[in-house]
Amino acid sequence: MERFTKLDDFQRQAWNLLFRATIEHSSAMRTPALATMDDRGIPRVRTVVLRKSETEKRSLYYFTDIRSDKCRELKHQPRASALFWDPRRHIQLRCTGQIDIHHGDDEAAVFWRDISKHGRKAYATEHAPGTPLGQYATGLPDNWSEQDLAATESYQDNFALLVHRIESMDALHLERDGHQRAEFHWESNQWRSNWVVP
Ligand SMILES: Cc1cc2nc3c(=O)[nH]c(=O)nc-3n(C[C@H](O)[C@H](O)[C@H](O)COP(=O)(O)O)c2cc1C
């Protein structure tokens, strides 16, 4: 990847990579690490799948189980940070902003409709993610394999759409002749950007 000479080009490429990650399943950027803060101020981080990105809305979309720890943490502290790394283009992105949880509303329903039975498995466990088990178990209902897609509708109750509205982005480009790093902040309805020391 060539060096960026303009901040605008760097930012355009960053959002372009976030968009491509949602359509190229082999993209490493498809599985960012999402960091939240628990109620004791301790950071918690986990891998999620980037389902959609919208440059105009500065938004990144993830799916999760409403019963998960991350949702509890987001209700307490809605600001979160997502970390992306593209090993082919040597670009790291740190995207920070507020996450809105959509649960049982029209926005969540639009995404739920298109999730296959295989995908719905993530929301079909009888108990909340992280519940201790006396012995090994998948947590799925005993008759899971016999259920057809229509029978999995009730698991929508556990499904949540997370919409991450990006307020700041830190972009780093590793380059043989010298790294490049820039910050982009959304302020007064526009992006303000500057180069920073890598
Ligand atoms: C490759 C990969 C993709 C994952 N995608 C998601 C995802 O899209 N949503 C999700 O809630 N958990 C996903 N997980 C599981 C989370 O990393 C995590 O284990 C789980 O959500 C529980 O996190 P929590 O207890 O912090 O809420 C994924 C894990 C891996 C390894």
Give, in order, the Cα–Cα distances in Å from 162 to each of 4, 34, 61: 32, 11, 6
* Ligand 1 binding pocket includes 78 (Cβ within 6 Å): no
**For position 1, what pLDDT does the model report?**
75
Task: Give dist(CA 171, CA 165) in Å, integer.
Answer: 17
Is pLDDT at 30 greater than 90 in this prediction? Answer: yes
Is pLDDT at 11 greater than 80 in this prediction? Answer: yes
Taking CA 96 as the corner, what is the angle to CA 42 and CA 63, rounded to the nearest 5 degrees? Answer: 85
* Ligand 1 binding pocket includes 129 (Cβ within 6 Å): yes
Q: How far is the CA of 6 from the centre of ligand 1 (A)?
A: 36
Domain boundaries, the chain: 7-126+145-196
pLDDT band at 20 (very low <50, low <70, confident <90, very high): very high
Which tokens belong to 191? 């992006």
* Ligand 1 binding pocket includes 44 (Cβ within 6 Å): yes
* Ligand 1 binding pocket includes 70 (Cβ within 6 Å): yes
Q: Mind listing the pLDDT tens digit for each residue in 95-115? A: 999 999 999 999 999 999 999
Of the candidates 17, 122, 33, the one whose C-alpha atom is nearest the C-alpha of residue 80 is: 33
Nearest ligand 1 atom to the CA of 44 is: 26
Task: Give me the CATH code for the 7-126+145-196 domain, please.
Answer: 2.30.110.10
Beta bridge partners of 23: none
Average pLDDT over residues 170-195: 97
Contact partners, residue 139, CB within 8 Å, separation at least 6: 125, 126, 127, 131, 133
Average pLDDT over residues 43-57: 98
Average pLDDT over residues 69-85: 98
pLDDT band at 2 (very low <50, low <70, confident <90, very high): confident
Q: How far is the CA of 14 from the centre of ligand 1 (A)?
A: 23
How is residue 137 annotated by DSSP? -
